Amino acid sequence: MGTPTDKFPRLKLSSSNSHLISIPPPRKPVNYGNCDLFKAGYCDGSLRVVLALKRPRIIGDSATQAEMVQRRFEREVAIWSQLNHINILPFYGVVELVSESFLVSEAYLASPWVEHGDLFEFLAARLKYSRTSSTLENTIPERIYEAFSTFDEYLMVLGIASGLTYLHANGVIHGDLKAANILLDDVLQPLICDFGLTKNEEFNVTSESQKRCGTGRWKCPTLEDKKPRSEKTDMFSFGMTIVEVLTGSVPFPAKTIFQVQMAFALGQRPPFEPPKSSNGKDLVPLWELAASCWTPEPDDRLNAKDVVSVLTSLIYASPPSDDVDDDHTDVDDRMDSSPLSSPITPCKRRRSTIGDSERRGAIRHSPMWR
């Protein structure tokens, strides 16, 4: 493990042959909703990975709140550790972080430090640049321009729907689906994350974390009647997430949360805005798809698997053949629900290295768009 210094906190894994290389964290942890995040490098033989380490933040001194947060932490571990899908953020294990005084240790959830931050920040930055400059290529770095200009709304929504289909097929209700809870890797593949740790119905959140926690802009109005979350409430949130993808902003951006929930209760939905695509595609079918997910009657809403079928038809004009790229094969072929085999397992699609990640600018929680 090496001798820790006063400059770096000590990081430990349970396996005896593992080594964590500490990367200097910011003076204050990255604020991510009801969680704090640190960055660390993992090294085990030829495997070198940059990790995001997440811990829940307890607001206030209540023992009840602390116990509640602990239960959420344990529940997220129990759920997340059993998930394995190309559109679900990989779970690498639980890491123990020991403070500089070596008197207190805390458990962190470990996952990849992915490339492009979250979808909320990406869409907001893309919209900002499109409004402030007629020639993006001349105003921002080439790699950022490439990410903005090659963004495909159809493939993004398909990836989210595929991940949601997998969750529902395995009995998991996300409960807080929105762009801020979807991360983007280095090829803009969506990765659904945050299974239960950022919900805030039972305890307060700070104002700066509201965009990440369960606000009413994505919440199905039936939840106000204390009805349990279900696949249908997830689909309502999914429809609102499509609105984010198409408009670059949250649903009803000019309304307060209370006004949004009143609008939902009255049957109102985000007004149709003819969306524009950077690659010339007709995006109206995506808006119509969103409308099919937020119908007042839950039983009338499409389910996630239906959405995948519709999107596959729209993208390929016919169901994809067996020789289509793996990333877009039938969702049933991607429903591997087996748990990860070890506390640290590299992502199946690619192996990230500390060196490559630093050269690319690993920006998981401090995105380059800011």
Query: What is the phi/psi pair of residue 258, to 5°?
Result: -60, -45
Q: Which residue reads 């699609």 in tokens?
A: 349
Q: What is the pLDDT of residue 331?
A: 40
pLDDT number for residue 352: 31
Q: What is the pLDDT of residue 157?
A: 96
Quote the pLDDT of residue 329. 43
The pLDDT of residue 130: 72
Structure tokens at 36: 């704090």
Q: Tokens 């593992």 belong to which residue?
A: 18
Residue 30 phi/psi, 5° resolution? -65, 130
**What is the per-residue pLDDT for 167?**
94
Asked if residue 195 lies in contact with residue 217, where contact means CB atoms within 8 angstroms, the answer is: no
What are the residues whose beta carbons fall under 8 Å from the beta carbon of 240, sequence distance 6 or more? Answer: 178, 217, 218, 251, 270, 290, 294
Report pLDDT for 335: 39
The Cα 159–Cα 153 span in angstroms is 10
CATH 3.90.190.20 corresponds to the domain 119-334: no
pLDDT tens digits along 212-248: 444 667 776 655 456 677 899 899 999 989 999 998 8
Q: What is the CA radius of gyration of the chain?
A: 21
Could you say which residues of the chain have pLDDT below 50?
1-19, 22-27, 101-102, 197-214, 224, 318-370
- CB of 224 closer than 8 Å to CB of 213: no
pTM of the model as a whole: 0.71
**How confident is the model at residue 294, as a pLDDT?**
86
> Do 161 and 328 touch, CB atoms closer than 8 A?
no
Q: Residue 192: what are its φ and ψ, rounded to 5°? A: -70, 140
Let me know: does 273 contact 249? Beta carbons within 8 Å.
no
Dihedral (Cα; 100, 102, 103, 107), 10-degree rounding? 90
Instruction: With H, G, I as helix, E, B as strand and everything else as coil, classify residue 215.
Output: coil
Does 10-114+348-360 carry CATH code 3.40.50.410?
no
Domain limits of the chain?
A: 10-114+348-360, 119-334
Residue 367, token pair as written in the block: 């995105």
- CA dist., res. 22 & res. 96, Å (int): 12
- Cα separation, 275 vs 127, whole angstroms: 12
Extended strands (E) in the chain: 10-12, 19-22, 30-32, 35-44, 47-56, 93-98, 105-112, 182-184, 190-192
**HSE of 307, CA atoms in CB hemisphere, 13 A:** 35
